[in-house]
Structure 1
Amino acid sequence: MIKGIIKVILLLLLTLTFSACEEKSSQESKTQEIVYIATLPIPESENLRKMGLISLWYDAKYDPIPATQIGYAYANKLQDYEKALQWFEYSNSMKPTADNSAYACSALQQLKQYEKALTWCNNAISLGSTQVFIVLASIYNEQENYQETEKWLLKAFDSKNKDAPISLGYLYANNLKDYVKAEQYYKEAIKIRDLEAFHNLSRLYHHNLHDDIKASAYAIALIGTKYSQRSVLKILQKERKIPNETIKKGYELQLTSDEFPIKFKGDLGL
């Protein structure tokens, strides 16, 4: 679960950062031409023509931004993380940045080279990055070091990372077995309308906190989003064996409580 979330986060992080890089590059070209000298040899141009990026290879000889863009293309389009890493390292040899360190950390995580990944993530932090907090959490989670996972997810939460709340909820519910904290962070995720948090909190109330009114309420609130009324009632009635009277109370709870930013106002037909 956490790993899946992280992949989405990294894709968004890379996309947003490259937009910023392109804007910065445009601004720099308007003021003065800056030439950087790499301390590593430029990687081979293999597959760049096929990806329509061969012009970036020439630009990357003296500019770290196109070099980083090439690394991103290898990671995102081809899932060639070894080649992506070469380009991130090359770009960083021209100009060390938090972004390059974060991307290198991510590539090394994909390659399961965790010790090297941690070094690059720490470099990113020293250069001011907070985005890598959740990447570090993912690395430790893959190694089943849940105390360190918790530590870095909490830092990500404090830095307002929108995917930290549900990741913390999942960690507490499934790995650390702290159901009170799981409830707390799932509710934080619900505040930002994370639909998966509604589903997970419903499961938590039924299986762990034994409150089927709330379990029903959080499931019912999802009707009309990515869940149909039929599928929700099937889970509550047939799989969880929750009586109709309890389900009705859950319906009223989600309808009247301020804890539910989304509500189902239709007829349950019970």
Structure 2
Amino acid sequence: MAIRTRQQTLAAPITCTGIGVHSGKTATLTLKPAPENHGIRFFRTDLPGTQGIPALFSRVVDTSLATVIGENGVIVSTIEHLMATFAGMGIDNARVELDNYEMPIMDGSAAVFAKEINAVGILIQTAPRSHFVVTHPIEIADGDKFVGAYPDDSFRITCTIEFPNALIGRQSISIDLGDNQFIGEIAPARTFGFLHEVAFMKQLGLGRGGSLETAVVVDGDTIVNQEGLRFADEFVRHKLLDCIGDFSLIGMPIRGHIKTVKSGHLFNHRFITEFFKNRSSWETMTPE
């Protein structure tokens, strides 16, 4: 698939409102077009006068329950689904305004974000779109967790998960982000949790916005949600969605094949740190 050579932004602003899955607080999100070389920046409108936070791995301050970025004491939490949407749809520049500290979870997927961006359209800009090109393998492992990046002509991510649950078991999926599969195949996949974990989190004051409207809930070998799954392998599709969002924090698209096994936000962040340590394993490419 052809690599996009020009930067892109939104063709018009978008606004949506929802609740934070962990805080339970209502938040209104506005996405606005941004100029070339602006990147993705988050602005807290409830804290006037504060600076925007660049969506970069160097600004990640927590990965325990979600990906959280912060700067100068200001944070924005649970950004991975929106960042996956930007990466999956090729959005390089956007101003993200939020009136609370946690992003709205919507239905637990990226479907709303993708649908809204698709509705307003994408503006192709003049500036060239630079890429990281993987030239030699980079790998990290810790027990049964693994992330690797390998040379490839496209940007492909292969994700494998495994849970000691008969309904989930071991699942794998691979997607080329240049093949326009994101909207239909990955964006609708919802976050998921286990019923006993949901109850425990609520006892700790966490997951206050979690419900059957914002996540897939598994109880043993049963899906609690009345409508069931959107895909037979919705679990791994959502983990791939999270990976796309996490790896977008590298700051530029990658030309290479990333493979993950039983990884999560923290381990993905560890890989990005390792990626930048291995400067001999990649180079930057900017089209003419």
TM-score range, shorter chain: under 0.3
- Compare relative contact order (CA 8 Å, sep 6+) and give the higher one, 1 or 2: 2
TM-score (norm 2): 0.21
> What TM-score, normalized to structure 1?
0.22
Structure having the larger proportion of residues in strand:
2
The structure with the greater share of residues assigned to helix is 1
Q: Mark the structure with the bigger radius of gyration.
A: 1
